[in-house]
Each structure stands twice: as structure tokens, then as C-alpha cells.
Structure 1
Amino acid sequence: MPVAKRLFVVEEHKNPSTDYFIAPYLRELGVSPVYCAFSQVPPPEQLQGAGVIFVRYVPANWSALVERCRDRIASVYFFMDDDLFDWRAFAAMPLRYQMKILRLSWSRRKWLASVGAQLLVSTPYLQQKYADWQPRLLAPRPPLETQAPPLTLFYHGSASHTADFHWLRPVVEKVLARNTRLVFEVIGNASVKRLFKQLPRVHVLHPMPWQSYRALLRRPGRAIGLAPLVDTPFNRARSQTKFFDITAAGAVGIYAQGPVYGGTVQHDKNGLLLPMDQAAWVEGILRLAEDGDLRERLLRGARETLRASACVSGAQ
């Protein structure tokens, strides 16, 4: 594959097809491409001498751009790692997925041929099936990990925490934007999933029975737990059990100032005790995310608090 002086990779969003096939292949060629979501269309002058790779799908705005600028584009490629050109191969898939493939892949076959697109495929099966396209076979490679392992930030609220979910949403948006190492884990129903849908690196877990949740907490990997409390009549009757859950998960907590957590959490000793100010929570989360020694110290303090609480309970 000749290397154009500039290469655009068009993808719906970040996806395994690009990470396992396209990015490693281009890295081996020494190419640093420009990755574009469907809505990101460059000005025509940037396509002079450029190459364009469509990953699985060809959106209408990009096909129109390529048609207008085909004489200045050096090369066009289409990559597929499923059989997207034969409707029989995906006829048993869910209807919505079928329609997506039909609209953005299957219906683009003739158009791709008309603009002289070269086919890139993921398996010998596809290479043989579409041999008339003279496709190039790309081998999968593990993604190149350039960042430190992720840190899991979590909020495990129930359906009764609706106000807290909404209060946290802008906080989570800001910290995910400022620290790309952070991922956010939340337990919630469909409305919670919709609330956080547009944010990157969010994992929404289904609500679960208590015993399942206890087992979940014992699985390692969580770093920072959140326990906000919007001032509502229902929240005023809460207890400090989130402190027990967060500490049991091996995480450090950020807790709302006030009578619920104020009797258990000592700020900067066994957690962070913060006012219900979103900017303060953003800075608190980022401080914990960036300081592993602080997290370890606060977790030791939280575990000592739990041990002391258990001893007092046992003595009574």
C-alpha cells in the first residue's frame, strides 16, 4: 500500500476494528493518520495528495466529499472485518444492525468500485471470497498501550439516588476530560445509562441483588468511590454505609460534608469530606487520581476506622 503524504481514517467512533487492524498496520508503515469521526469532514484542500481509509462504513457526507475531490485524492480504501458486502451473511442479525450495514456498507459496493477503492480485509476467508477486488489482508495486532493502567472511579447508587446521579454528571464529564486515565463505573437502569451515554469510558452495570453486589465489591480494581448527597428529605435520613462499601472495595472515598458522613470521615485522614460543590469534587477527584501515595494513606486510615468500628460493635 503506497503511503500518501496525509492519510485520513474515517470511523464511526473509536472501535476494535481500527485498534486491532488499521492502527497497527499504519504504525508498521510509519504513518501517523488523522482519525475522523463521521461528522468530522476536512476542507477539500486538505485532501490534495491524501489517502482515505473507510473503516467498515461509508457515511454520506464523506462519500460526497470524495466524489467532489476524487481527482486530488491519491487513494481510497475500504476495510472490513465482517462480510459486509453479502446481505446473506448478516440476514440473521438484529434488524437495526442489518439496516445499518445495508445503508453504510452493502449499498456502497458499487460506489467504492466507481472511485477505485482498494479493499482491505481481516481474514483469508474474506480475501478469497472477494478475490476480484484483489484485497490486501491485514493481520490483527494487540493495541499499543501508551498510558498507565486505568483508574476506576465509581458511584454505586440505587434508583433512590436520582438527584445524586444528575448532580454527579457534570462532575464526571469534567474529570474524564481532564484525566484520560480515569474510567467511570456506575450502577443504574436505562435512565442512568442515557444520562451518561455521551461520556467516554463509562461502564454502566445493571442493578443487582445484595449478595451479588457484595461479591462485586470484593473484586479488585476500584480506586476512588463517590458518595454525594444532594440535600433532599430522603437523603437526610441516609446512614454512612457507603463508607463501608467504598472501603470494602479497596478504594478511597469522597463524601458529602454534613451529618451523614461527618461522624465517620475525617478529611484527609480516611477520605475526603467535601461540600456539595461540583468544582470542589472535580478537584478532589483529580487530586486523588494523580497521587497514589495519598490514596494509599487514606485507604489505610479508612481500614483502621472500619477495624475500630468493628471492635466497638463487638464490645457492646
Structure 2
Amino acid sequence: MEKKIKTAVCFSISLVEKSAMAYYRLISPMREGGIKIIDGLRSKDSIYDTIQKGDIVFIQRDFPKRFNSYLKIIETAKSLGKPIVYDIDDFLFFLPEKHPDRLMHNFTPALVPMLYALIEADLVVVPSPRLQRELGVWNQNIIVLPNYLDDKLWQMKATRPKTDYRDTLTIGYMGTYSHSPDIEYISPVIENIIKRFPKKVRFQFLGISPPKNIEAYPQVEWTPFLSSSYEEFARFFQEQSIDIFIAPLVDNVFNQCKSAIKYFEYSVMGVPGVYARLEPYISVIRHGRNGLLAYSLDEWKNNIEMLITDSELRIRLAKEAQNTIRDHWLLSQNVNNWLNGLYYGIENGIGESSNRHLLKLLQPINVQLNDGFGELSAKINALESEVIEKEREVSRLSSEVIEKEREVSCLSSEIAELEAEVLDYALSKSWQMTRPLRKLARTLKG
């Protein structure tokens, strides 16, 4: 671009809640690079006026599932000559069969619209080289803008590993529910470690709940995340006291396309860790120098035990990990690289994608899917409202039943009291003495 980017109009669902993805991909690098963000979803102006204020338009991840709105944004951006950048941080087109997001169909309605956005964009930006290779077949105008650690949110903590062999060590794992297959994969190792070091270790799960087979152990604790805000998470996480971190990943293409942000966030805490021997980490970690890498369950067990029993190794790995972050992965030191990458991609990337002919087919498919999912969503919402109303009715009737039961109970008590009173009266001497007179009266009446 001949002029620098001063303002970016961003259409991102995660930007509303300021989640980790919004911070790593948009908020932090743009703030550090002096780019003002206009939140397109919350703008009170028309789409035309909103986009006109920006130098560039960012579409993020699954926003295109709002396909009709997406088409209006793209049409407007093109008419105003604004470059369109599509940012995607995960290989969502290739979710593993047992991945929670796939099982719950969280991204199913967005997949075809996302493919459309991937092909349509003037430039696609991703956080890892592996994801670039996987998505490059759909749009050759794709570059890597790495995730960097925002050193305005994160502060390097001094490495203070416990050195007394009698000290209890806390082994931590941090992640969301989407990582349940990863943590379940090494749960047998965790159970083995607990049994071998019952008084030496405790496991702290932050965010995700522990696997079922270990949750009952007294050495296992769980602290859920109370907010989706990444800024609040960063404050919360930096208050934790952990001695060893683990970062398992099941070996599949989806995980291999991830970035190494867990390594950044673990290491800034001054804590050593064991990481999956997969592409997100092997390009950053030198085994035995600034971290440990594991693939098989035996490797996981041996490496964790090594850190438990060797305090000097913990200190050395933690210090080297922080040196790695300082030298290569702090946002303040890499923001120019991020900006130059974006400028280069825009200047050299705008052009017809070889797959643009597919858009003529994908657009009507997307419109039909959007309408179909919209109708299905409306029906689901209507059914949910009906269920809520029925639940309210059941609750009301239950309250009435409880009230009637109380009334019956009160009446029963009154009847019992009257019966007792009648019995007492029938057994009294006056009642017995007047019995002949009552009998005579009945005879005379008859």
C-alpha cells in the first residue's frame, strides 16, 4: 500500500467479548502498531459509512456464517476499493471426529461460508506455516502473521522453583473444553504420577475440568474460568502458583496447525513444561534446553517424572524458556515484523485467486444453507421458548400441587383433632349416663 494503515474495520464475533483470538490476532498487534480498530459489528453507522472510515477490512474466522451480512460487507468494501483480509487461526475445516466443537456442531453452519470467505479474500492471514500450507490450495494470497505475546498484558515472573525434596509440586494444565481429547489422552500418565508420588504432587486444572478417571483423587483440583475476556484471564492466570506445566496434543492435522501460545503463556510464568512433540512446539522448543518434548505416553511419564525429581533442570529450562520468549516472541519487539508482513501481503497479494470460479457455485449454496440454518435456528428457538414456557407451567402447577398438599395436610390435622375430640366426648361419663335417654328418644320418634 502506498499509505500506511491507520484504521481497520473488523468484523469479528470474538471482538465483542475480547477473547484470546481477538487479542492475539487483532487487538494487541493493531494497538501496538498504531492501527485504530472499528468494531464493525457494534458500529452504529451504516455498513457503507463504517467501511468508508477504514483503510482495510478484516473478516475473522466464523463471521461469514452471517452470510447475507457478509455479502453486503464484501460488496461495499470492493466498491470502495478497500482491501479485504480474512483471518483464520484454526483448521476448522478439518476438525477431528471426537473434537468437542465437531460433536456439538459449533462450526458446522459456518464451514461453507468460511470457505467462500477464504477464496474471496484479497489476502488470507494465519498464525502458523502448517495452516498456511493447508489453506494455500484455496487461496494463494496467504501469509503467516505469527501470534506474539503481548508484554503489556503479561509480565515475566522470576523463576523460583521449589528445591526442597519435601515440597509439594503443583503440575498445571490450562485450556478450554475443546482440549478434552488432548488431556484425556495423557490421563493414564497423570493417574500413574499421582500413584507414584501421592504426597509429592498435585494437579491443578485451569479452565477445563479433569478427566473422569482422575477427578476423584484428592491430589486433583479444578478452577474454572469465570470470564471469556482474555485480559481478565491473563490477570487470573498470572496469580496462579504452578511448578510444572503440561501441554499435550493428540497427533492430528488440526492440532499440527496450531501456534505455540501455550508455550508463551506458560513460560512467562517462570515455569518449565512438557509439550507435545508436534509442529506447534517443535519449531520453538529445543528439547532439554528450553523445554521438554513428548510424544508417546512413556515419554510423557518419563519427562514429567524428570521434572518432579530434578529441581536444577526445572530452573534451567524455565530460565531458557523465558530467554526464548524475550529474544523472539514479545509483541513489542516484533510489531514491525507483523506490520511489514501485512503491508507486503496487501501490496503483493491482491489479485484473482485461481479458485474464484468456485464462488459462483458457492454463493447460491451458501444462501440456501443460510436460509435453511436460519429457519432451523428459528424453529429451535421457538421450541426452546415453548420448552421454557412449559417448564414455567410445570413449575406453576407444581407450586399449586404443593399448596394443595399443604391444604390437605391442614385439613387432615383438623379432622384428626375433631375425631379425637369426638372420641373423648363419646368416652365421657355424661355421654354414657345419657345413653338410655337417647335410646328412648329414638324409640318414641320411630
Scaled by the length of structure 1, the TM-score of the pair is 0.50
Compare the two structures and name the one with the higher helix fraction.
Answer: 2
More strand by share: 1
Using CA pairs under 8 Å that are at least 6 residues apart, name the structure with larger relative contact order, 1 or 2: 2
